[in-house]
Chain A
Amino acid sequence: QQPVQSPQAVILREGEDAVINCSSSKALYSVHWYRQKHGEAPVFLMILLKGGEQKGHEKISASFNEKKQQSSLYLTASQLSYSGTYFCGTGYVQAGNMLTFGGGTRLMVKP
């Protein structure tokens, strides 16, 4: 079952903050976050694992709430380069080596 992302779209001014949520109806084992710019392939941002281990890069952070089966991606002091569509991919113990991706959140950062 596909995870649900919210909001579907958000418009920011440079320097503003945003939060993107990813919710699952099943118990999560891992959550991946990717960003895709128009006409390009998705690019990895971060992975979060059950138990709290967090990996990632750039000035973007994320959290993983096991009880709520939810992950949130935090973009602070947004830059123009943050524009794109953000996808979460969820991994489940029963699902083996596959991720299920959400529908995406479109983020536009304006000057």
Chain B
Amino acid sequence: NAGVTQTPKFQVLKTGQSMTLQCAQDMNHNSMYWYRQDPGMGLRLIYYSASEGTTDKGEVPNGYNVSRLNKREFSLRLESAAPSQTSVYFCASSETVAVIGEQYFGPGTRLTVT
């Protein structure tokens, strides 16, 4: 049982390049989330997917797109990377019925944009 996995673990991009961060969970959770965490700061929600087939914007969606490929997988795409997107990106999943359940986080992707 791997929980939540993310690839890649580290990535360096040049300004203007694009990339996709992959996330998968094996807990059969319905909800999945993408957060970013800047140094010394809290978690900010980029996008989330309450269930397969739906996605919604979070607090900081500009410059990102997401795809809920199936129940297991939720990807985050940076179309044209900017230095302001340098951050650690965490994917999380939870079982959400009436209330958001316990969120399980992946190990994170450390992204640097130069």
Contact = CB atoms under 8 A, between A and B. Distances in A.
Interface stretch (A11-19, A60-68, A72-80, A99-107): A99-107
22 contacts: A30-B99, A40-B107, A41-B107, A42-B43, A42-B90, A42-B105, A43-B105, A44-B102, A44-B103, A47-B99, A96-B50, A97-B50, A97-B56, A98-B45, A98-B58, A98-B100, A100-B45, A100-B59, A101-B35, A101-B44, A101-B45, A103-B41
A24 B53 CA distance: 31
B96 interface: yes
Residue from A2, A42, A100, A102 with most neighbouring chain B CB atoms (10 Å)? A42
B2 to A, nearest CB: 13
Q: Which 10 A-B residue pairings sit nearest by Cβ, starting from the closest?
A: A41-B105, A97-B50, A101-B43, A101-B42, A44-B102, A103-B42, A104-B42, A42-B105, A97-B96, A91-B100
Interface string B86-103: 000010000010011111
Given A42-B103, A91-B100, 8 more contacts: A29-B99, A32-B102, A89-B43, A98-B56, A99-B103, A101-B42, A101-B44, A101-B45
B31 interface: yes
Contacts of A97: 31, 48, 50, 56, 96, 100
Nearest to B104: A44
Contacts, number: 61
Interface of A: 2, 29-30, 32, 34, 40-44, 47, 49, 87, 89, 91, 96-104
A22 to B, nearest CB: 11
User: Which of B31, B42, B90, B99 has the most A CB atoms < 10 Å from its CB?
Assistant: B42
A72 B112 CA distance: 35
Interface centre among A32, A40, A91, A98 (most CB of B within 10 A): A98
Nearest to A44: B102
Report which residue of B31, B100, B103, B107 has the largest number of chain A beta carbons within 10 angstroms of its beta carbon.
B100
B105 A99 contact: no
A98 B107 CA distance: 20
Nearest to A104: B42
